[in-house]
Amino acid sequence: MTDDPQVPVAPEDETEIPESHPRYVSLLTRHRIERGVEKDITSLQGLIAEGRGEAFDYLLGEETTESADAAARAAAAHLLLARHPVLSVNGNVAALCPGELVELAEVVDADLEVNLFNHTEARIEAIAEHLREHGATDVKGLTADARIPGLDHARAKVDADGIYDADVVVVPLEDGDRAEALGEMGKTEIVVDLNPLSRSPQMAAVPIVDNVLRAIPNITRHARELREATREELEAVVEEFDREAALEEAERRIREGGREK
């Protein structure tokens, strides 16, 4: 609920939400997810996932912490070092930050691949079209001619020349099973998830505990800064990142509130 009587609870257009509003991120997120459901991009379960994420974001102060920023920088370095980076797109991230995903893919030369938990052809098509409307030229996930070993649900379906072949995969709002299975395939996983205790960030080489709305553009910003760096410099950024410390810091912040130590 908005605490500003000037802001409609369900604005028709996101430009109706003033950026100065204390609940701006939350209102914008809800608006985009709601529109995502209407367009058959986001699943109904996506609404529940959003509510869960929002509670964690509230406790994190709705800002990118220092440790999440360090994780985003390590993610950018991994993506720039990768042979074949892929950004996995589900119904929530497609609704929340389609343009930002397309931009990141361009900057690090990654593929975009739609991969869904609640898998239907109609949703895959709707998400691919939505990404194209935001500037994507090639969207993978429609062929689904390979399978991630050890997974028995629809999320195992991937493109042979996409996620199956990738060495580095960005998996925002992932389910733990697939995160584990991708790890077992030897892929480097970059997970964006507001819950540091969730199995997917716990499995990830780089867990970014931040709202995707902030995390994706932040990875892009770091990638732009690091674009001219040498392989050695990028490897040093990867090496310096401490995943355990990042997870612990995020959990401490959520449990205790307040600023980072």
Give Cβ neighbours of residue 250 (< 8 Å, ≥ 6 apart).
Answer: 60, 65, 67, 68, 196, 207, 209
Q: How far is the CB of 115 from ligand PTJ (least distance, A)?
A: 7
Q: How far is the CB of 229 from ligand PTJ (least distance, A)?
A: 27
Distance between start and end Cα atoms, the chain: 31
Q: Which residue is nearest to ligand PTJ (CB)?
A: 53
Q: Is the dihedral of CA 226, 227, 232, 234 positive or negative?
A: positive
Q: 203 or 212: whose CB is closer to ligand PTJ?
A: 212
Nearest in space to 198 (alpha carbons), one of 169, 176, 215: 176
**What CA–CA distance (Å, rounded) separates 47 from 125?**
20
Q: 234 or 250: whose CB is closer to ligand PTJ?
A: 250
Q: 81 or 148: whose CB is closer to ligand PTJ?
A: 148
Q: 81 or 209: whose CB is closer to ligand PTJ?
A: 209
Q: 81 or 91: whose CB is closer to ligand PTJ?
A: 91
Give Cβ neighbours of residue 13 (< 8 Å, ≥ 6 apart).
Answer: none
Q: How far is the CB of 166 from ligand PTJ (least distance, A)?
A: 18
Q: How far is the CB of 141 from ligand PTJ (least distance, A)?
A: 11
**What CA–CA distance (Å, rounded) separates 107 from 31?**
27
Q: How far is the CB of 127 from ligand PTJ (least distance, A)?
A: 8
Q: 81 or 190: whose CB is closer to ligand PTJ?
A: 190
Nearest in space to 252 (alpha carbons), one of 193, 209, 188: 209
Q: How far is the CB of 134 from ligand PTJ (least distance, A)?
A: 17
Using DSSP, state whether 33 is helix, strand or coil: helix
Amino acid identity, position 8:
P
Q: How far is the CB of 121 from ligand PTJ (least distance, A)?
A: 13
Of how many residues is the chain composed? 261
Tokens of 50: 């959003």
Applying CB under 6 A, which residues contact ligand PTJ?
29, 43, 45-46, 49-50, 52-53, 56, 90-92, 96, 116-118, 173, 175, 192-195, 198, 211-212
Using CA atoms of 254, 256, 260, 261 in order, give the dihedral in degrees to the nearest 10. Answer: -140
Q: 151 or 192: whose CB is closer to ligand PTJ?
A: 192
